[in-house]
Amino acid sequence: MSNPVLETNAKNFLWASGIEDTFVPQTKVGHRALDEYELMGHYEHWRDDLALLRECKMQGVRWGVPWYRVEPAPGEFDWRWTDQVLPYIVEELGITPIIDLMHYGCPFWLRREFANDQYATAVSHYAEAFARRYHHLIKFYTPLNEPLVNALMCGKRGVWPPYWKGDSGYVRVMLQIVRGVINTVEKIKQVDPSAVIVQVEATGLNRAVRHDLEILAIEDQRRGYLFYDLITGAVNAEHPLYGWLLRNGAAIPALEEVQARRLPIEVLGMNFYPQWSTQQVYIDKKGRLSYRAIEHEGEGFASLIEDYYHRYQVPIMITETSAFGADAVRSRWLAQSVATVKQLREKGVPVIGYTWFPLFTMVDWRYRLGRRPIERYYIDLGLYKRQQEPNASRWQATSLVDQMQRYIQNPEAAIGHCLAPSQLTSESPNP
């Protein structure tokens, strides 16, 4: 492996954070635009925000491009802002960016968003234009963050455009996302064959409150693999979700096309939050199937990572994790999750990076459907908290900054050595 960041030794382990970058700018009656950069003032204060990365000794950053702003009309690009920000990250701060090309939202001109037949073409043309302009600065790309959440919010729950609902909507959005990712990777590789693709998914665990519901938890867990299985060409007639896909609108020729264009996973990015990422199916008081978050201490984190590694046999990066609550709660999860990474690496699981996400205060997604002032939607998951006093500096460091610095400055003690096998890319899972 020629890229040192993909090596498994502690010296080249990538410690990162990220700027929350959800973009859902479209509105309708009762909805507010959700652009985290705008809501948190990042468009104006980007220099100060990103300087925090160097202050806390970070080596990498997950940072997203607002597609709807940089391509305001089809094929017409406005790079004025990114022309300032990206050189600052790379050349002034010396930080390695992992670029989120898509963090949920489409541009206004792409009518019906993921329902548009031209989505996969449009998103890949944007990706190609970005790569041509910035390939001298950027090596790591995430084509689309969290396909599962995207399909859930846009296709099953009908909360984000195109506002489809049900399993059929979920499947339709997921297949559009997969086509877009495949097109995007092909375009990027044409521009820069050495580019590294970090495929990031919302990963989690599914439990059942009793034995007769276990089959539902198993099916939910299988859906969690769906994006990775699709892009690696593992979805065929023998796949356990094949029938479910067909019943919910996936055409056989479409599945065959995806399988034929399969991509290897270069880096598998796992997002996990202890209070939210483990769900239990149960029967509520009205006799209906319901879900609730359990295992708030993240007890299954290690087994989850092992499961994904054994299934796909590729390098793993923790691309998002943090905890909600008091600093002591979050500090405990930071220590526990880093210790878990060390234990796994010593067992031969090639975890090559860790991302505490986000870097600072973000706006809860409930803001989109809410009515209260924005301040009521701030949530503190990051290393820094927003200060409210008029004359105070923008950000206040928490105790987690010093804790993170200690890990970064002594990586061998923090995450140990990894005795990883030489096989570090995979085209298909090992169920």
CATH architecture of 4-203+212-269+296-415: Alpha-Beta Barrel (3.20)
Helix (H, G, I), strand (E, B) or coil at 247: helix
Distance of alpha carbon 403 from alpha carbon 400, whole angstroms: 5
pLDDT confidence tier of residue 85, bands split at 50, 70 and 90: very high
Q: Compute the average pLDDT of residues 125-151.
A: 98
Bridge partners of 271?
Answer: 202, 320
**The pLDDT value given to residue 431:** 59
Per-residue model confidence as pLDDT tens digits over 250-273? 999 999 999 999 999 999 999 999
Whether 188 shows a pLDDT value over 80: the answer reads yes
Q: Compute the average pLDDT of residues 31-35.
A: 97
Distance of alpha carbon 16 from alpha carbon 356, whole angstroms: 7
The token duo for 121 is: 């073409």
Q: Compute the average pLDDT of residues 191-217.
A: 96
3-state secondary structure 358-413: CCECEECHHHHHCCCCHHHHEECCCCEEECCCCCCCCEEECHHHHHHHHHHHCHHH
Per-residue model confidence as pLDDT tens digits over 328-358? 999 999 999 999 999 999 999 999 999 999 9
The token duo for 380 is: 């503190």
Whether 316 shows a pLDDT value over 70: the answer reads yes
Distance of alpha carbon 218 from alpha carbon 371, whole angstroms: 38
Extended beta strands in 69-138, E state: 96-100
**The pLDDT value given to residue 403:** 98
Percent of the chain predicted with pLDDT > 70: 95
pLDDT confidence tier of residue 9, bands split at 50, 70 and 90: confident
Contact by Cβ (8 Å): 352, 8: yes
Cis geometry, peptide bond prior to residue 97 (ω within 30 degrees of 0): no
Whether 407 shows a pLDDT value over 60: the answer reads yes
Q: What does residue 350 show for φ and ψ, rounded to 5 degrees?
A: -80, 75
Q: What does residue 139 show for φ and ψ, rounded to 5 degrees?
A: -120, -25
pLDDT confidence tier of residue 423, bands split at 50, 70 and 90: very low
Q: Compute the average pLDDT of residues 221-239.
A: 97
**The pLDDT value given to residue 427:** 64
**The pLDDT value given to residue 270:** 98
Contact by Cβ (8 Å): 10, 417: yes
Whether 169 shows a pLDDT value over 60: the answer reads yes
Whether 429 shows a pLDDT value over 90: the answer reads no
DSSP 10-27: GGG-EEEEE----EE---
**The pLDDT value given to residue 393:** 84
To the nearest whole number, what is the mean pLDDT of the chain? 95
**The pLDDT value given to residue 3:** 64
Cβ density class 196-227: b for 16+ within 10 Å, e for less: bbbbbbbbbbbbbeeeebeeebeebbbbbbbb
pLDDT confidence tier of residue 237, bands split at 50, 70 and 90: very high
Bridge partners of 351?
Answer: 316
Whether 361 shows a pLDDT value over 60: the answer reads yes
Bridge partners of 18?
Answer: 62
Whether 424 shows a pLDDT value over 90: the answer reads no
Of 100, 98, 205, 195, the residue nearest 147 (C-alpha): 100
Residue with tokens 């200690």: 406
User: Does the pTM of the predicted model rise above 0.85?
Assistant: yes
Q: What does residue 417 show for φ and ψ, rounded to 5 degrees?
A: -100, 150
Q: Compute the average pLDDT of residues 306-311.
A: 97
Per-residue model confidence as pLDDT tens digits over 46-63? 999 999 999 999 999 999
Helix (H, G, I), strand (E, B) or coil at 268: strand
